[in-house]
Amino acid sequence: MEKFYTTTAIDYVNGAPHIGHAYEKILTDVIKRHFSQRCNDAYMLTGTDEHGIKIQKTSASMGISEKEFCDQNSSKFQNAWKLLDISYSQFIRTTDDYHKKAVQKIFKKLLEKGDIYKHSYTGLYCSGCEAFLSEKDLDENGCCLIHKTKPEEVSEENYFFKLTKYKERIIKHIKENPNFIVPSFRANEVLNQLENIEDISVSRTKTSVKWGIPVLDDENQVIYVWIDALSNYITALGYDTENETEKFKRYWPADVQVIGKDILKFHSIYWIAILMALDLPLPKHILAHGWITIDEAKMSKSLGNVVSPESIFKAFNLEIPDPLRYYMATAAPVGKDGNYSDDDFKEKVNAHLANSMGNLLNRTLSMLVKYFDGEIKEEFIHKSELFDNAKKTIEEVKHHFDYFEIAEAALKITELVDTLNKYVTDNAPWTLAKEEKWTECGKVLYTILEAMTSVASMIYPYCPNIAQAMANQLKYDINTKLDDIDFKNIKAGKFITKEEIKPVFLRLDSELANKNK
């Protein structure tokens, strides 16, 4: 694998980042970090979507310019991702000059090609969705299914994109590539939506929306979200229809585009049609994740259950984001909805990260110091069947990631840790030491430490700080590629001192980890 390019949806900056935004970014970052262990060039794009009527109205109500409002809120998203150790390679804003110029060229190319035309239109517009809705998008009260508000009837002369022209090609692609949409059960949903698609509006009049990218040669129109926001995945790489930069040639097509299930239609139909119209390769996979509920209730500002990443950090006095990253990444099977609750968060990360994994390393190293003054003797080093088990786990983890089964991959890692804990219990090195069976005792400890190097590598995408702390104590290079793990890391000689042994993760209910509780 030469490169791996992954993208997130770009977040609309009309509000602050919440745990739903964080879920997507954590998932994508875990994917990116895993594939960085399998190739030399993993690239991740994220960013913010900054045009549209909602931003225009909100900024006006605050008495500030649209750009000033976008600057303030875009920085909130960047700060949140820094807090969560999201290792994105590039952050794009749709107000970036290079993006705006590229979007204008893309629009012009599609117009000259005949895939965009001008048309008078009357439709139902939902400002929450930033989209025109059809009757099937409304509930029995005529309200948007997502925002529960009645859309506004709008009559305009806008530019339209010939989405229907690409209908059959999109259907053919989805049917011939069963892994294109992940999870695969979402494909039928998209195929059903394709049955009744119509051409889509790709501009608004400036009298309706002035905060947008102007259409070249038509001062009365601004480019609408589909050409603007969706194009970020290629404009970020330098694509502008005239120049395919080396960066674009290297990374496009995307290996996976991670989005929420509520915008799957726009990415698997609208975006794909735009790429077809531009004669560009299609992304290899579109991963539609589920929603995160709070205590089994869908997040809602009116319910007061919108949780931010910062609020969880403060509630638990987290010094590193690894517990939240691990919990969110394993919240649900691929594509299904997940749930956040404080109690479950504490219970899960304590069980998996502190009690099982962290404690295993800590007590093994402590026994090495207690019985052998922290030294690995030559006679301890041997080949264990547990290494074959760990190697098998690595392959299983890779297989799950190939299908973007992030929670399922983590389960394999915890199963290996459980196996290692059982090995310690069954072989009881403390009993071997009491019986002065020093070589047998040393072999048990060596086996655990050597196997734990693979655990550190596999858990790294989820918990980069904990993995690095483990690697430091194991004298192990955390940047080792998964295929290069050979279980020959632990060498004979002085290995560790008592002072070097530190817990890699404190329980959330411990006095040190949670001072205010």
How confident is the model over 227-247, as pLDDT tens digits? Answer: 999 999 999 999 999 877 999
User: How far is it, in rounded angstroms, from Cα 360 to Cα 356?
Assistant: 6
Measured CA distances, 52 to 216, 322, 489 (Å)? 18, 35, 55
Choice among 25, 70, 126, 441 that is catalytic: 126
Domain at 342-500, CATH class: mainly alpha
**Residue type (1 letter), 350:** N
Q: Per-residue pLDDT averaged across 446-455, rounded? A: 98
Which pLDDT value is given to residue 299? Answer: 60
Q: Is a pLDDT exceeding 70 seen at residue 386?
A: yes
Q: Dig out the tokens for 145 from the structure.
A: 């299914």
Confidence of residue 304 (pLDDT cuts 50, 70, 90): low
Q: Which of 271, 322, 325, 263 has the alpha carbon at shortest distance from 291? A: 263
Burial class (CB in 10 A: 0-12, 13-18, 19+), 54: middle
516 has a pLDDT exceeding 50:
no
**CA distances to 251, 349, 361, 393, 409 from 485, in Å:** 27, 26, 18, 12, 18
What sign for the dihedral angle of Cα 45, 50, 54, 59? positive
Percentage above 70 pLDDT, the chain:
96
pLDDT at 308 over 60: yes
Adjacent-strand bridge partners of 485: none
Q: Is 55 left (phi over 0), alpha (psi -120 to 50) or beta?
A: alpha
Task: Kindly give, in sequence order, each residue whose CB lies less than 8 Å from that of residue 516, ignoring residues fewer than 6 positions away.
Answer: 317
Where along the chain do its domains lie? 342-500
* Annotation says 301 is catalytic: yes
Active site residue 399: no
Q: What is the pLDDT of residues 171-218, one digit of tens each?
A: 999 999 999 999 999 999 999 999 999 999 999 999 989 999 999 999
Query: In the annotation, is 289 catalytic?
Result: no
Asked if 129 is an active-site residue, the reply is: yes
- The candidate with the shortest Cα–Cα distance to 385, out of 447, 477, 435, 474, is 447
Across 19-32, average pLDDT = 97
Residue with tokens 């990218």: 213
pLDDT for position 512: 40
pTM above 0.75, yes or no: yes
Q: Which residue among 3, 67, 119, 147 is the active-site one?
A: 147
Catalytic choice (70, 129, 441, 463): 129
Per the annotation, the verdict on 298 as an active-site residue is: yes
CB 294 within 8 A of CB 286: no
Report which of residues 412 and 126 the model is more confident about: 412
The secondary structure of the chain in percent helix, strand, coil, rounded to multiples of 5, reads: 50, 15, 35
Other C-beta atoms lying within 10 Å of the C-beta of residue 499: 8
Q: Which residues in 201-232 are b (16+ Cβ under 10 Å) and which e?
A: bbbbebebbebbbbbeeeeebbbbbbbbbbbb
- Mark whether 147 is an active-site residue: yes
Sheet of strand 292-294: strand arrangement: 297-298, 292-294, 338-340
- C-alpha–C-alpha distance, residues 330 and 327, integer Å: 5
List C-alpha distances in Å: 464 to 101, 460, 469.
37, 5, 9
CA 449 – CA 353 distance, rounded (Å): 16
Checking if the pLDDT of 303 tops 60, the result is no
Q: What is the largest CA-CA distance in the chain?
A: 90
